[in-house]
Structure 1
Amino acid sequence: MGIFKKNPFGHILFLKKWLIRIMGALTHSRYNGFNELQIEGSEILRNLPDKNVLFVSNHQTYFADVVAMFHVFNASLSGREDHIKNIGYLWQPKLNLYYIAAKETMRSGPLARILAYAGAIPVERTWRAKGKTVNRQVKMSDITNIGKALDDGWVITFPQGTTTPWKPIRKGTAHIIRKYQPIVVPIVIDGFRRSFDKKGIRIKKRGILQSMVIKEPLVFDYENEAVESIIEKLEYSIEQHDSFLKVIPESELKAEEDLNEMRRWSYKEKKS
């Protein structure tokens, strides 16, 4: 790889590689130290083509979710089976890996701008801007950039467009699926909201059992399937459909925390 070789967005791959290595080393203990990340589905990642793959996931923090995916994806592609031990997988990271993020979020500070260079595809939200509700047209350049990233590699998106659970899937994701016909792989995450603050930068609580479940690719009739049908499949696949919503009593929440604590100690004993 030439030292000044660039990706389709003009990012120098040599710099991107070192950014992923450094940021990966700095964040590794957040998922394999302070907290434990339980992974399912590594073998699915290894069976995917090198490009035109769209990952859809529920969203819990601005940055910690996607950073965890960078770890899991690279560890899995390096042959690790459902774990991210031994960060040697960061030495040759997957460089054609991108994620869709709100433009205002990726311009919110120096750290966000650094993380953007690792693979962000900044888009303007059509429904929200600076904390206020808006109603604006989709920018065609944003759609084009997503297509450009899919043509080059893998793209991560959070189709609800917010870290608030149970919000509806945005229709834009369905239109992207129909237009570019990618392989669509659902991911369900949990524990990140309890582990980190909303931005996913500050560790809020330690000893949390985080989880990431990578599911088999969805099946679509790209030519004929209605947008509403695609959205419903996405909602079920990332477990954000209304049917998953229920009121959890305080006693059940306490039982869940106790189970989480038991799993944490069990996991640590298994490691030792």
Structure 2
Amino acid sequence: MGIFKKNPFGHILFLKKWLIRIMGAMTHRRYHGFNNLHIEGSEIIKDLPDTKVLFVSNHQTYFADVVAMFHVFNASLSGRVDNIRNIGYLWNPKLNIYYIAAKETMKAGLLARILAYAGSISIERTWRSKGKEVNRQVKMSDITNIKKALDDGWVITFPQGTTRPWKPIRKGTAHIIKQYKPVVVPIVIDGFRRSFDRKGIRIKKRGILQSMVIKEPLEIDYENDSYDDIVSKIEYAIEQHPSFLKVIPEKELKIQEELNEMRRWSYKEDPSSEA
């Protein structure tokens, strides 16, 4: 790889590689040290094609969710299954991973701009801007950039467009799927909202059992499925369909809390958990 070789967005790959290495090393203990990231299904990652893969996930923080996925994807590609122990996987990271983010978020400060260089496809929200409701047309340049990223590699998107749970899936994701026909891989995350502040930068609480479940690619009939069909499939796959909103019995809640506590303490006592 030439030292000045660039990706389709003009980013120098040599710089991007070192940025991922450095930021990955700095953030590793947020998921395998201060907290414990429980991973399921990461064996799916290594069997995916190199391009035209769209990951759809629920969203809990601005940045911590994406950073965790960079860790898990690269660890899986280096042969690890459901763990991110030993950060050697960062030495040769996959450089064609992108994520869709709001343009105003990725311009908010130096750190956001650095993270944007690592792979952001920055788009203008059509429904919200600077904390206010808006209604504007989708920019064709944003759609073009998403296609460009899919043609070059993998794209992560949070189709609810917000870190608040149970919000509806934006139909723009369904349009992208029907138009560009990517492999669609659902991811369900939890624990990040309890671990970090909303931006995903400040550690709010330690000893949290985080989770990331990577599911089998969705079965989509790109020609015959309607946009509503695709939206519904995504809602169920990332467990954000209204039917998931249910009252959990107090007894079951207590059992889950006890299990979480057992996992937390057993994790701390396990010497292999050191980064």
Tell me which interval the TM-score lies in, with the shorter structure as reference length. Answer: over 0.9
Match of 2:171 in 1: 171
Match of 1:74 in 2: 74
For 1:214 and 1:178, locate their aligned partners in 2 and report how far apart those are by CA, in whole Å. 22
For 2:227 and 2:236, locate their aligned partners in 1 and report how far apart those are by CA, in whole Å. 14
For residue 246 of structure 1, report the CA deviation from its aligned partner. Answer: 1.9
For residue 62 of structure 1, report the CA deviation from its aligned partner. Answer: 0.3
- The code of the aligned residue for 2:133 comes to T
Q: Percent of aligned pairs with the same residue?
A: 82
For 1:249 and 1:204, locate their aligned partners in 2 and report how far apart those are by CA, in whole Å. 28
For 1:80 and 1:271, locate their aligned partners in 2 and report how far apart those are by CA, in whole Å. 18
* Matched position secondary structure for 1:39: strand
Match of 1:99 in 2: 99
Normalised by the length of structure 2, the TM-score is 0.96
- The code of the aligned residue for 1:166 comes to W
For 1:140 and 1:179, locate their aligned partners in 2 and report how far apart those are by CA, in whole Å. 13
Match of 1:5 in 2: 5
Match of 2:87 in 1: 87
Match of 2:19 in 1: 19
For 1:203 and 1:124, locate their aligned partners in 2 and report how far apart those are by CA, in whole Å. 28
> Cα distance 1:219–1:117, how it changes in 2: closer, same or farther (>3 A)?
same
For residue 268 of structure 1, report the CA deviation from its aligned partner. Answer: 3.5
Match of 2:141 in 1: 141
Indicate if the aligned counterparts of 1:20 and 1:93 stay in contact, CA closer than 8 A.
yes
For 2:195 and 2:255, locate their aligned partners in 1 and report how far apart those are by CA, in whole Å. 18
Unaligned residue ranges in structure 2 (runs of 5+): none
Q: Deviations over 1:142-196 (max 9, x none)?
A: 0110000000000000000000000000000000000100000000000000000
* Matched position secondary structure for 2:161: coil
User: Is it true that 1:53 corresponds to 2:41 in the alignment?
Assistant: no
Map 1:240-251; keep pairs closer than 5 Å: 240-248=240-248
- The code of the aligned residue for 2:65 comes to D
Indicate if the aligned counterparts of 1:102 and 1:123 stay in contact, CA closer than 8 A.
yes
Q: Deviations over 1:47-103 (max 9, x none)?
A: 100000000000000000000000000000000011000000000000000000000
Match of 2:125 in 1: 125
- The code of the aligned residue for 2:122 comes to P
How big is the alpha-carbon RMSD for the aligned residues of Structure 1 and Structure 2? 1.3
Match of 2:211 in 1: 211
For 1:118 and 1:251, locate their aligned partners in 2 and report how far apart those are by CA, in whole Å. 44
* Matched position secondary structure for 1:159: coil
For 1:201 and 1:249, locate their aligned partners in 2 and report how far apart those are by CA, in whole Å. 33
For 1:44 and 1:250, locate their aligned partners in 2 and report how far apart those are by CA, in whole Å. 35
For 2:52 and 2:101, locate their aligned partners in 1 and report how far apart those are by CA, in whole Å. 18
For 1:211 and 1:39, locate their aligned partners in 2 and report how far apart those are by CA, in whole Å. 6
- The code of the aligned residue for 1:117 comes to Y
Unaligned residue ranges in structure 1 (runs of 5+): none
* Matched position secondary structure for 2:56: strand
Match of 2:160 in 1: 160
Indicate if the aligned counterparts of 1:207 and 1:261 stay in contact, CA closer than 8 A.
no
* Matched position secondary structure for 1:72: helix
For 1:252 and 1:114, locate their aligned partners in 2 and report how far apart those are by CA, in whole Å. 43
* Matched position secondary structure for 2:70: helix
For 1:90 and 1:177, locate their aligned partners in 2 and report how far apart those are by CA, in whole Å. 30
- The code of the aligned residue for 2:200 comes to G
* Matched position secondary structure for 1:59: coil
